[in-house]
Amino acid sequence: MQDSHTQILNSLSNRDNLTKLDTLGMMDLVLGFPKQCRDGAAISWQYGHGSTAQTDIRNVVYTGLGGSAIGGDLLRCLADEYGSIPIIVNRDYTLPAWVGPSTLLLAASYSGNTEETLAATTAGLKAEAQIAMVTSGGTLAKIGAAEGCPVAIVPGGQPPRTATGYLFFPALTYLQHRHFLRKDFQEDSEETFLVLEKMAKEYGPDVPVEQNPAKQLAIQLFGKIPVLYGSQGYRGVAAYRWKCQFNENTKIAAFSNVLPEQNHNEILAWVLGEKQASNWSAIFLRDPKEEELQPRIATRVAVTKELVSRTTPVHEIFAQGESLLARLLSIIYMADFVTVYLAYLYGICPTDIGYIDHLKEALAKEVSK
């Protein structure tokens, strides 16, 4: 099996073979991600009235779903480290009761038509929150224009989960513009783009399995349910992104959790490992400086790995780069390659999201009745 999988993934250097497995062009979007991040950072905002005033904003709520919500998760990680006010990510129709005039509501929907995001935006307007938006158009952009909200219009026409650079970087620029982050990210952004460009070269379809860690991991995960463990903080956000990419690109179940919390409950799920975990595979997402900067976490990871490895193979992925921004983006970028290669091995189209479309259509029909 491994040999035939190696052959399949090594055949991808031939463009025709790649196109046969990837009829809707997911790999091109994955390879284009570093440039998309550069482009995303250069997108200009269409500022509405009063948008730059440093009024008494006390909190930021980023509202969005699925592929559009991940941009908020990334922002929250940066705000946890460098923010002057708290940021939370909201994935629902409703907003917390405390949202009001002192809230900046960042509404993000790639399509601009996601009903939960539209409902939360309407709730934000009602609560008199200040609202800014990131979208490629749709109803959200229309609401933005009608209400005079600052809006970043990003290029449309691709799956939202491949548009993280377009969704995240303009939101980052906006928070900087409003002075809600105590750091200038220009240098870190440049480092991030270079790290991502290097990764695209190292993990791309032309690089054979023998030199390609992303292809190797995809082969090892065939037939397994990936269980992602972030070692702490932003690696927990990355673990959730990996899980979602396995769900959407590969169409398989995957689960995620983060340390130290995992050590207080889920670690026991491995006790009956032999009975239930024979097809699980654990992936630890780690920071290269953990040993030095977070020795307690490094010890926790070592002990957890040992317990988990009693029943299942354990893999480790390390973030790359120096800045938090580069480490954050690099650790999620690896997931794009692994989940798409694994989709090829299953003979699944990585782009197709039939069940999500089906659900949205069923909900739309219900409204139009």
Q: Site residues (CB under 6 A) for ligand PA5?
A: 65-68, 109-111, 114, 117, 159-161, 248, 353, 356
243 catalytically annotated: no
Q: Which residue, judged by CB position, is nearest to ligand PA5 in the bound state?
A: 66
| Least separation in angstroms between CB 65 and ligand PA5 | 4
| Least separation in angstroms between CB 4 and ligand PA5 | 30
358 catalytically annotated: no
> What is the C-alpha separation between 152 and 130, in angstroms, rounded?
15
| Least separation in angstroms between CB 64 and ligand PA5 | 6
Other C-beta atoms within 10 Å of 141: how many?
Answer: 21
| Least separation in angstroms between CB 39 and ligand PA5 | 18
Q: Which residues contact 136 (CB under 8 A, 6 or more apart)?
A: 110, 111, 112, 153, 154, 155, 156, 157, 163, 166
| Least separation in angstroms between CB 366 and ligand PA5 | 17
Q: How far is CA 137 from CA 87, 134, 311, in A?
A: 24, 9, 48
> What is the C-alpha separation between 160 and 68, in angstroms, rounded?
6
Catalytic residue (choose from 264, 275, 365, 369): 264
Catalytic residue (choose from 5, 248, 251, 290): 248
Cα torsion 112, 58, 324, 198 to 10°: value is: 20
> What is the C-alpha separation between 184 and 99, in angstroms, rounded?
27
| Least separation in angstroms between CB 158 and ligand PA5 | 10
- Identify the CA nearest to 189 among candidates 16, 357, 38, 30: 38
Q: Tokens at residue 29, please?
A: 């979007």
Q: Which residues contact 20 (CB under 8 A, 6 or more apart)?
A: none
264 catalytically annotated: yes
Instruction: Give CA 245 to chain center in angstroms.
Output: 8
- Identify the CA nearest to 123 among candidates 142, 137, 109, 103: 103
- Contact at 8 Å (CB) between 73 and 46? no
Q: Tokens at residue 308, please?
A: 């988990």
Between 69 and 221, whose beta carbon lies closer to ligand PA5?
69
Between 66 and 144, whose beta carbon lies closer to ligand PA5?
66
Residues with catalytic annotation?
Answer: 248, 264, 360
